[in-house]
Structure 1
Amino acid sequence: MGQKTKLQKTIIFFLVFLMLCGVFVPTQTGSMVYAKEVEGDVITEARVTNGEGVPFKPGEKIGAWQPFRVYAKFKLPDNIVKEGDTTTMTLPVGFNTSAPSTFQIKDADGKVIANATLYNEKPGRIVLTYTKYVQEHSGVQGEFYFNVSVNAETQTGSGKIPVTLTVNGKVIPAGEVDYNPPHFTNTQFSKAGWMTGDKTEGKYDIRINQDNVVLVKAKFEDTIQSENVSFIQDSLEIWNGKWENHGSYVVLGGKKDVTQEFKDAGKIKFDGKKLTIDIGDYPESNEKRGFQILYKVKLGYEPVAGEEIKNTAKLTYGEDNYSQESTYKIKDAGGTGEGYVYKIQILKTGKDNTPLAGAKFDVIRVRNNQTVGTITTDSNGSGEIGNLLKDEYKLVETEAPKGYQRLKEPIEVKVSDFGDNKIALKTIENKPEEKVEVSVEKKWVGPAKDSVLVELKKVGSNDVLQEYELKASDNWKHTFTNLPKYENDGTEIKYEVVEKTVPNGYEVSVSGSMENGFIITNKNVEKVDVSVEKRWVGAVGNSVTVQLKKVGDETVLQEKELNAAGNWKHTFKDLDKYAPDGSLIEYRVVEKTVPNGYTVSYGVDSIGTCIIKNTQNKIEVKVTKKWEGITENYPTIKLQLLKNGQKEGAPVELTNGTTTHIWTNLNKTDENGIDYVYTVKEVGENGNNIQLDGNWYKVTYGGDQQTGLTVTNKKLKPWTPMIPPTRDIKVTKLWVNSNGNPIVPPTNKIIVELYKDGKATGKTLELSESNNWSGVFKKLEVANGLGSTDYYKYTVKEVGETAGSIKFDGKWFNVSYTGNMKDGFTITNQKERPWTPMEPPTREVKVTKLWVNSNESPIIPPTNKIIVELYKDGKATGRTLELSASNNWSGVFKNLDVANGLGSTDYYRYTVKEIGENGNTILFDGKLYKVVYGGNMRDGFTITNEKEDPQTPPTPTPNNPTPKEPTPKNPEKPNNSITPEKKVPDTPNNKPKVNINKTIPKTGDITNISLYIGLMLAAGTLLALIEYRSKKQSK
């Protein structure tokens, strides 16, 4: 198809234009409404009043922004004005419209004639927009009012300024106002409030520190006083700057919005009807120290004209305090609200319209639930409250006339109840009170007293209404009569009866109810103690458990374990003396389980303590002495009775050939009921041989404790004495000064240890002034066995002496040894002149025990203790530590020599070994544990016992090795040896570690490496092929 010509395009555009015009331009058919400004003298006259609708008094002035009223009368021509037509009134320059910004003009029936809108422009305008009412009525006329204020910024005049309304070009005078321009002086704290265009919202402006003084701990608080009014929290604005006074107005210069900054710092707190702002410190270095705070409040109801909204604001800083109350009134327009000029009157009557005095009512405004005042009736039954708004109220009776019931429901007062005289009258009737009775009965648990006083009260009150003395003569009962059933507020009264004074030794409880009567029970709460003592006749057991019961009742009340630590005594305290039925309780104490081998008996001693006696079963054991090889001149012997291998009592002596003895009153069993085994041993017998009066006898034992024991001495032929030779060695202590002269010893005693062939024997002598500093080691073996020529060499050493020196009381003494075994040894301590101390350095070595499983997780130890032995340079020192849960499995070897003598560099190397460990394993409770050593002398050693998984273990040494086994030659070199401290220093990267010697499991997957390589090669080949085809196609 060919291109369109220019003419065709023009025609198409024109046709589209016509179509659009047909759509958007209406035709002049149907009933279209034409809105227009009503011409002519619609506003006939105008006048001004103050904000309350009262004409200005002579000399009365207004200030800037202070609302006043403009009243205007209007009259509309008939059959001309249509719905939507308007009348516009223009204010002179320098005047603003004030809230509310809208209102309605209504007729007497409440039908809307016109809707008014106020435009706060320059100049301000008031526009009336008529409703359909004006088309349906004729002779429409009336009066309305609106609020106006002087704009201080645009009003250039002062004094008397005319107020006019300009309508359809015609100026209508309304009068004049006496304007007093503002002359601002700085104030430290000011607050203003006003109603916004929405009557349910108010706005406040707070100005702080116009003198720009230094603020210290400044705080602002604002509390809303009116009911059902709350803060609009999001409306809060806080501005900071420096106030500038320009005479007729002030501004906050250089102001900055710091609202969010205060919120983030937590300085703003809304708490119900209270707002707190913590302004804080603003020192002299901060030039801007002024604040302006703006916020809005919301009314939870629709207020009426003339109503006041109140709140109180406070400012504190340093020692200064400011407080200001603020009130703004609800403004209205279009009506003639007259404010707080209404009254409510009541007439209170009883039966037969009798006037009732003393009735009290709270007067509550329904709109905001605020109590506006109270009404109290006089002797004529009348009462009233004034200064009310014309609104709905409710009257809540808080106190009824005496003898009458309080009203349960409030009395409603509606707007229509107010007559032309602005008074709402209510006649209110009360009914007489109902009466009730309350009975009480007294019961006793324990001995009854002569009488008690009971008091009648209201529940929740301490006021005593009545009092009565209950006695046995009236069966401990009484009834309180003629009691009011209701409170003055109409709520039912709840009564209670209490005991005035509870007798000593009793506690009181109250049961029952008003309807069924109260029962006051006095329970005797006297307490008693029951003491018990355990006595043993025979062997004393470990512990017993005793039970407290009542006589005739097997119920166990309490249990207690008696033992020696508690002297086998206990007292059950604070036990009830009387049963619930008032009877006296008798207690008894019994033994829970009588130990085996004992009989039990019960009794009471003179002071009332329960005695539990356990008597052990007794037996007799007879012994007979037999002699072989002699028939006369029998030697005197001593026989020792043994109980379970331990000595029982003192030996008995048999003289002049006495052949028998009987031990009586012997315990048959232990506390667990296991029989004791009694045997006998001849005193002096050694290896079944004994020497009596120079002759040797063979000693044999026979019989048993049931049939009798026998001891037979058979005389042996004379032979070479078998007593190895012994010797005594004397030791003497001398104290001298540096010149060899005797001195007063610096200590009251010393200890001397005996050495045999250079090795310590453990035998010691204590030398002191009491034994003239001299003693004797007695009966020392001469040689290694009978007939041996391997004679022992004995020497002595003063305990505490090191390298020939010893220190007493901070002073050093030289120690020298002289003498021999035959003549005795002399130890001389010679006082040295003061010199550099020769005390060799010592060290401590800490040992810690760890218990883990094969996963290195802590486990419960299989034993309650272990023994660790200290080794020095690979040799056992004989020093041990016991590690257990009580010392947290840790201990310290203390005061260990660092080196071989003072100044020596031959430092000792200490190691440790767990006793019972063999080949780095040890057996506990049938289970094998791996033993691993870690650490060093400086940081301490750690012995880790790792529980091994079940397997066939090597044969370890048990944890209780035989003492006769030789000490391992190299215990410091277990399979997991400890690195010597002096060879490998501790560094952060080279710390001693416990070698658990475990194989690390393989966590990687190496079985698919070939598959990965194949896939990578295939991917590379594919990429190369694609590249080749791409290049080929491009050619």
Structure 2
Amino acid sequence: MNKKIRSWIQILILCLGVILQSFAPLTQVHATEYNDVITSVGVENRSGEALTQGLDIWQEFRLTADFVLPDNTVHEGDTTTLQLPSEITFSNSSDIELRDASNNLVATGRLDAASKTITLTYTKFVENNSGVRGKFFVYVRVDHDVVSEEKDIDVNITVGHRVLFAGKIRYNGPPGKYDSKIEKSSFQYKDDEKNVIRYNITVNRNMANYSDVTIKDAFSSPNMTFLPDTFRIYKVDWSWNNGDWKWTNAQDMTETFKNQLVVNANGDGFTLPLGDTNGFGYMIEYRAKANYDLVDGEEITNVANMSYNGSENEQSTSTRTYQIAGGVAEGYVFTIKIHKVDEAGQPLQGAVFEVIRDRNQAVVGRLTTDSDGNASVGKLLRDNYTIREVTAPLGYDKLTEDIKISPDEFGSDKSVERRIENKKTPPKTPTEKEITFKKVDPNGKEIPGAELKIYSGDRVRPEAPPVADWTTEANTSKVIKLAPGTYTLTESYAPDGYQYVDDVTFTVNADGSITIVKKGTTDTVVTTGSVLSITDKEDTTPKAITFSKVNLGGNEIAGAQIKIYKGEKAEGTAIESWTSTDQPKQLNLEPGIYTFHEEAAPTGYLKVTDITFQVKPNGTVEVTKVGEKDSKGEDNRVVAQNSTLTVTDKDDDVARKITFSKISLGGVEIAGAQIKIFKGDKAEGTAVESWTSEAGKFKELSLAPGTYTFHEEAAPTGYLKVTDITFKVNYDGTVKVTNVGTKDAKGEDNTVVTDGSTIKVTDKDDDLPRKITFSKVSLGGTEIAGAQIKIYKGDKAEGTAVESWTSEAGKSKDLNLAPGTYTFHEEAAPTGYLKVTDITFQVKHDGTVEVTNVGEKDSKGEENKVATNGSTVTVTDKDDDQPRKITFSKVSLGGTEIAGAQIKIYKGDKAEGTAVESWTSEAGKSKDLNLAPGTYTFHEEAAPTGYLKVTDITFKVKTDGTVEVTNVGE
């Protein structure tokens, strides 16, 4: 709330019953303080009504007190003291007087702002009169230097040793800092002469930089004079402190600016150019005096205007209620009533009076008596007034003498009534005059279509026929013959596009001239001789226009952000803006062209393009341009019916560009993913889109807003396919995953992220183990036992084997191997078999196995025998028929190698067929043969001379190169 310098304190003695008694004078040795005479205290608002609302900073209210003085006890000089609570202070601390209705001084009152006390000191009057009682009040406010926050305050008044509860008030607390370019305030000062009011004008409390600042100050109330000699101006620094503006660093600039001060011609104000305010402010002080005696409670209004920055203006108004110490301050509550009658006492209608306040000659009311002969004007001060008849009723003489009203004539109901009689004018035969009526537009051109009627008298009487009626025509005036007298012209229908004029009461004078008696305050009605011209204003009266924002089903929809622009384009500042709800929106728009602009459509709807419409003077609305085609390439759907404009938002099913990225864990776009997109939250029905991903490329699709399912029909080789992922295409073109899907084959969540309109789905490496079967067989295809096998990761038998086992007869071996390259290594072959060299194979993602390197040639110089079938690897161990070096020694009993033995070796356990080897032993030498593992027969064809030959001996060459005799022979 703005800081306001408050009014003088009001003291009201409501009822001071005084019974004059004859008492002998009493001598007072010492003044006595009587504090029990205060019977009650209370709080009221500034108008004396119940205080029902919280109080702002600087806002004053009434503190009331009732008192009863004991008879024959209180003497001149005795006192009564009331102590305010610390939270309350006086609005002003001027001394006061308490007087009765006969202006007898009952007591004087001193208001001490420092101690916050009211001290009443009684006069001699209380010694000579009994039954002295009454009520008074003072204006107080919350002391915001004590109370710095919003709170409830108990107003406890201390009177002597008693504490009286006046009531509870609510303090709204200090306001927040507000914009303050100019503020006007006023107050009365106790030492000023009568009828003087002081004024302050504060400039640029914002401490902003304004250019070309000029202050213009003038009184709206008449007969107030600015006193130039009291003018003072200070350059100050303003700051905000606890809800109030404070000034510091005051510099008196009066001498600088007084020569620039220009007083208004009638002395009721001034103009003062201040120039630029570059980060500083001003305080202007002056006094003004009424040219008449102000009455208690009279309101004086003054307006200060600040122009700045070339064309900007700010205004502040001060209305000061003038207070007189001890006055009753009844205010603007009085009424003057007039009852107009003829000589027979019958009411007369149509008499026009002016009521003039004598003190300042201001016309406070212009009255016309009604059909009962009555008229009144209210909201007057108790003062002297003059009633003057301006126009007599038709056929009656106008009063020639004024009627006076004095203040004491106002009764207990605060009104005074005058019965005023008019004598009938002797009848005359009127001579009709030709009167010309013109109905024109603002350019002076006669306009057609106005339906006009003229009634006799000072008002329209529908029960009586009009003396003339017509409809205006273009470029044509209307001439009507009318006898001298008073008439009223009424417009029953205004032309399209124009405003109605108020009824015009006029008088046709005896010379044929016209006098306007009454017209609309804003209407342009002029007379020239016998011509009456009425100018119709263009109809700028706002019309109630209803805007309905609906969907295709015709239901009102919420969330559309709408702006209305003046003109055919959505340019400049919107004159109205709102967000639609489930109810239509009603605006008041002047006739003209407007543009309906939808800033943003509700979610799920397409916004319409700009629509141009016209509000017609008759309150209907018409679409003048349906707008460009919308994002679907279709026309807007808009309907105008009477005063309602219905705009339909279509469903927003326009496809958005959505980007799909199928990447590896390394973030690289991968080829070969077979993908399908299904509408809805399941991969059911027919896919709306399907494609196979390409290396290094993402996929762009156009999808309407809604829910979809990403389904990977098949993952690229080497990758795990993701489970079904549900996502939503939003109306803003972004995408959001609503269900990441069930866990994948690894038992892990899918890896999927979104970024704006892009959805990235990551295929993890397919390193799940596949069941691979290893079969170790002989050349006959039989599973053989005893092969010691190891499997290594990679293409070499290095590091630690991932698996190892020893083959078993008749059994294959199942292993779980992740896709990749491995090496089959036979650590040792079964007895009788050749071990294979290292074989490299690949476990594929489809679970099949492929030999990538059959290995080095074996010890026979042959390639390994290895075959794959699906997920089975069959490795054949060949028979180990490699010759071993076997040494034969033919010795005598003495162990000496002997010569001459003819020896043959046969394959098998008999000396049959062809010998595989034969030789004759030599003295001192053994015989080395290369024999493949197997059974052989040692046959001595002839023994050396002197020795017996041995019989056939059967022996076995083992695979480990040793030899064993299996049959020693005969």
TM-score bracket relative to the smaller structure: 0.3 to 0.5
| Bigger helix fraction | 1
TM-score norm. by structure 1 comes to 0.37
